[in-house]
Structure 1
Amino acid sequence: MDINHWQGRLAELCQAHQVPGASLAVLADGEIHECATGVLHRGTGVEATTDSLFQIGSITKLYTATLIMQLVAEGALDLDAPVVSVLPEFAVADAVATKTVTPRQLLSHTSGIDGDFFHDTGRGDDCVAAYVAACAGLGQNHPPGVTMSYCNSGFTVLGRIIEVLTGQVWDVALRERLLDPLGAHSTMTLAEDVLRFRSALGHLGEPGEEPVPAPVWGLARSAGPAGTINATAADVVRFARLHLDGGRTPDGTVVLPAEHVAAMQRPFVQLPATHAHHMCWGLGWIAYDWPGGRVIGHDGATVGQKAFLRVVPDAGVAVALLTNGGVPAEVYQRLFSELLTETTGVTVPDFEPPAEPPEVDVTRYVGSYVREGYDVEVTEQDGVLHLRGESIGELAAINAVTTAVLVPVEEGLFAARRNEHEPWAPVVFYTLPDGSPYLHFSMRAAPKG
């Protein structure tokens, strides 16, 4: 691999799409290749380097899922037994969900629990336990098991299961049971540990505008099992290598039995209009339906930072891109398409509306769609749908309002983007088996009010 070529391409794309800084790592032919570009903080001008730590956001969920599957392999946890059989104190607002939600549903984002509950319960070692207690008032997006809706809350609950069954706080269990065996010595969860390294700050701003340093560094510690890992890109592909090598570390240590590694990667639940998303969900991993070969991966987003991980198991290739602002989705789309095509023959599919959109009855989709942490209003003007999404609750202060025109692709499926600087994203209007109307946007399901 000519890493100098990809260094130049990374720098070119980041400059074109206003990404302040980025780090890239590629595992190919058994070797890790690294490069970086830009700055970690536009206010200080500190250079981004390959040993810099970025926030990987929800890629953290793969680490938590791996710890859960370790416990399954050890016989300590049944994925299909109710969560309350392990956490008797677990409760949400819906009595049926409280009694029936399982770890498998939490891993696959099918529990229906309102997912974007970012509740800060402090910095103590009891923060995850306190978060689970605070879930008692959390509502349901949908009944358990009937559809997929991305659920951060569920992964903090899984983190509490890990704490109860190991007798360790999640951060310690992660370190001792996974990071140390992997040799991932530049992977941290706590701010005071990140301070020992060069670390990135997120940047915010509308696409097309110069991003500025974010007013907040990261998420609350209580969100740890769902998204607080900081790491180098190389450490992220070291983690991915574990899942390429059947659960074994480079020295042969079995961290997770091969059958449990395989179970995590198998598609488990489809998304509405899954052909538009080009993906299904497994137990932690996303399984991508891309031309050229089987791909698994995950993305992560925090306050002004975005991370991407893609793995091609049949080729033994893993790629991690960590960024701190701008329009990183465009950098990812172009860079990964080029890089994966060259190294594996896999191409990243594009999603976009047809040149001549079909005529559809848009009036049926007008209305309000509300879920925990986000409120969507769909309106119609001159036969065209407009979407307005607004963060509510604890993230309202740092997340901007999203507005987009919805372009028809087919009945019930639309393409949306804020402006020409961003890639298109699917927006799906659909119904549950009981006929209830729903909106699926940004991997989340929201009922029509």
Structure 2
Amino acid sequence: MAKGLDITRIKARTAEFLAEYQVPSVAIGILQDGEITDFALGVKELSTREPATTDTIYQCGSLSKTWTALAFMQLVDEGKVGLDEPVRTYLRDFRVADPEVSAEVTPRHLLNHTNGIEEDYGDPGEDDDVYERMIANITGAPQVHPLGHTHGYSAALGYAILARVMEVIDGKKWDDIMRDRLFGPLGLTSTTSRHEQVAPNRAATGHIIRSVDEGPIVSPVEHLPRSFGPGGNVNSTAREVLTMAHVFLNEGKTPNGTRIAAPEIIREMMESRVPIPDPYMYGPEWALGLIVCDWHGETVYAHDGSTIGQNARLRILPDSNLAISMLANAGPRDSFYKKVFNVILAELGAVTIPELPKSDPSRSLDLSRYEGTYGRLGTHYEVTAEDGKLSLTFALNPMEASFLGKPERVTYELLPVSDTHFLMPSDDPLEDTQTVAIYDFQNGAAQYLHTNCRVNPRARQ
């Protein structure tokens, strides 16, 4: 057991938070000085009441990107691919709508989410050629922003392109590459990239929470499409997520001493960074497959993940030789994860997670600079000013609104933190306060809205 860890107290506090947030189950792992302590609470599925255990397998969602980035960087380590070579060096027919992007986008742009290519890849199906089809489908995909101009998270496409590069270089399908390059060498027996590879008796069932009164219900969507594979379809346990995190704390070595990547490759992943326009919700910078956080002056590396009903959190604290993982089968909201992790961090005498900044009601802003419509494929935001206040209205598509039990238009007040950053509190008891960046002013008007890591350009008149 990790030093200074009162696991009984931590489990008791976590159980309180589970009840408060109506999360059916959670699995938590703590890696300190090379030793893992893990525990699970709650049930795998509410209808069966079968207890979750440390062997329960959860969907990692976008935490999968860290796995994919690590495997991709092995190819860099081997000299088989260059981070700053054009993707077209490896995929000769690669093409999007913008000719310059087609010729110049690199793996680094894809790893750190600065490529700007719209996720307009259609339905590539569920067959083994899914990533090849995605690339064939984006020949007309426009730019959300110019190449390298700003950070804007790519949920599926960017890492699917990386996966296709890996397939061409290694001569295998991405799923097999992950097994052979990572899961096997790391000694992972519970981590897979395909939902059908998970033993049903070990799988957590996802839940969604549409209202406090209704409570959690089984998600009608069992798993994400295969197109999300490299960016969202890894399944694992809290312990095995930490086995991967061990590599980042030990210069590329696994717990049994096997070298997965050279120390300089791990440093490249952690130190090659771009700024995030909204630095408050996750962190101020994005590295290669990792978010870079600033916790009261200490650098912490992170990645989160969500599927429709399951969620993952990973935090790596190199200065404390510590990592914590959390896997859950509903939510969890940011406030849930922060409460649980802060209990653990305080027990260990480590730095805790900072709160969001306070708003500055005295700040005088020219509200007309922010007003306008922002959006991209599948998203639509309207920023309006009235009575000296800014509001943001988010338009949900009718199917999503019905699925979540929400109105099709939801309006939030924007409270200024700075000239470009705002808090977005919610009246919904199931929502935490979010943050928004509205920035890049040209001709007196902001050009982009950035929230939840996604970037949305101003609609052109």
Give the TM-score normalised by the residue count of structure 2.
Answer: 0.91
Worse overlay, 35-44 or 384-393: 384-393
- 1:129 is aligned with what amino acid? E
TM-superposition CA deviations, 1:359-400 (whole Å, max 9, x none): 433333222111233222223343333323245599788566
Tell whether the 8 Å contact from 1:104 to 1:283 is kept in structure 2 after alignment: yes
- 1:48 is aligned with what amino acid? A
Worse overlay, 163-172 or 407-416: 407-416
Q: CA deviation at 1:177?
A: 0.5
Matched, 1:256 2:261: yes
The size of the alignment, in residue pairs, is 448
Q: Corresponding residue for 2:243?
A: 238
Structure 2 unaligned regions, length at least 5: none
Q: Corresponding residue for 2:425?
A: 417
> Partner of 2:455: helix, strand, or coil?
strand
Worse overlay, 353-362 or 132-141: 353-362
> Partner of 1:97: helix, strand, or coil?
helix
Q: CA deviation at 1:175?
A: 0.6
Q: Corresponding residue for 1:342?
A: 347
TM-superposition CA deviations, 1:86-132 (whole Å, max 9, x none): 111222222221111110010011111124x5744222211111112
Structure 1 residues 397, 252: closer, same or farther in 2, change over 3 A? farther
Whole-angstrom distance in 2 between the partners of 1:120 and 1:276: 31
> Partner of 1:89: helix, strand, or coil?
coil
Structure 1 unaligned regions, length at least 5: none
Structure 1 residues 355, 268: closer, same or farther in 2, change over 3 A? closer
Whole-angstrom distance in 1 between the partners of 2:130 and 2:116: 23
Select the residue among 373, 385, 388 that pairs with 1:380. Answer: 385
> Partner of 1:99: helix, strand, or coil?
helix
Q: Corresponding residue for 2:86?
A: 82
Matched, 1:444 2:446: no
- 2:205 is aligned with what amino acid? L
Matched, 1:226 2:198: no
Whole-angstrom distance in 2 between the partners of 1:250 and 1:129: 35
Structure 1 residues 288, 363: closer, same or farther in 2, change over 3 A? same
> Partner of 2:185: helix, strand, or coil?
helix
- 1:429 is aligned with what amino acid? I
Select the residue among 198, 205, 216 that pairs with 1:201. Answer: 205
Structure 1 residues 187, 327: closer, same or farther in 2, change over 3 A? closer
Q: Corresponding residue for 2:76?
A: 72
Whole-angstrom distance in 2 between the partners of 1:398 and 1:165: 41
- 2:424 is aligned with what amino acid? A
TM-superposition CA deviations, 1:7-49 (whole Å, max 9, x none): 2221111111121211111111321111111222223333222
Tell whether the 8 Å contact from 2:28 to 2:326 is kept in structure 1 after alignment: yes
TM-superposition CA deviations, 1:128-173 (whole Å, max 9, x none): 1111211223221100011100012101111111111111111110
TM-superposition CA deviations, 1:72-99 (whole Å, max 9, x none): 1111001111111111122222222111
Select the residue among 404, 414, 418 that pairs with 1:406. Answer: 414
Whole-angstrom distance in 2 between the partners of 1:107 and 1:92: 18
Structure 1 runs of 4+ with >6 Å offset: 393-397, 432-436
Q: CA deviation at 1:341?
A: 3.3
TM-superposition CA deviations, 1:311-352 (whole Å, max 9, x none): 111222110111122443211111112322332521201114
TM-superposition CA deviations, 1:284-305 (whole Å, max 9, x none): 1111111152211111111122
Select the residue among 313, 332, 341 that pairs with 2:337. Answer: 332
Whole-angstrom distance in 2 between the partners of 1:59 and 1:201: 18
Structure 1 residues 267, 421: closer, same or farther in 2, change over 3 A? farther
Whole-angstrom distance in 2 between the partners of 1:398 and 1:91: 35
Q: Corresponding residue for 1:266?
A: 271
Tell whether the 8 Å contact from 1:204 to 1:304 is kept in structure 2 after alignment: yes
- 1:29 is aligned with what amino acid? D
> Partner of 1:70: helix, strand, or coil?
helix
Select the residue among 84, 107, 111 that pairs with 2:111. Answer: 107
Q: CA RMSD in A?
A: 2.4
> Partner of 2:385: helix, strand, or coil?
strand
Worse overlay, 256-265 or 406-415: 406-415
Worse overlay, 138-147 or 41-50: 41-50
Worse overlay, 338-347 or 64-73: 338-347
TM-superposition CA deviations, 1:380-439 (whole Å, max 9, x none): 343333323245599788566554221222222110133355332221110168986111
Matched, 1:428 2:432: no
Q: Corresponding residue for 2:44?
A: 40
Q: Corresponding residue for 1:308?
A: 313
Tell whether the 8 Å contact from 2:26 to 2:326 is kept in structure 1 after alignment: yes
Whole-angstrom distance in 2 between the partners of 1:281 and 1:121: 28
Give the TM-score normalised by the residue count of structure 1.
Answer: 0.93
Select the residue among 145, 149, 153 that pairs with 2:152. Answer: 149
Matched, 1:126 2:118: no
> Partner of 1:200: helix, strand, or coil?
coil
Whole-angstrom distance in 2 between the partners of 1:42 and 1:357: 48
Worse overlay, 318-327 or 64-73: 318-327
- 1:442 is aligned with what amino acid? N
Structure 1 residues 71, 79: closer, same or farther in 2, change over 3 A? same
Structure 1 residues 177, 243: closer, same or farther in 2, change over 3 A? same
- 1:274 is aligned with what amino acid? P
Whole-angstrom distance in 2 between the partners of 1:85 and 1:71: 14
Structure 1 residues 77, 293: closer, same or farther in 2, change over 3 A? same
Structure 1 residues 250, 349: closer, same or farther in 2, change over 3 A? same
Tell whether the 8 Å contact from 2:112 to 2:286 is kept in structure 1 after alignment: yes
Q: Corresponding residue for 1:184?
A: 188
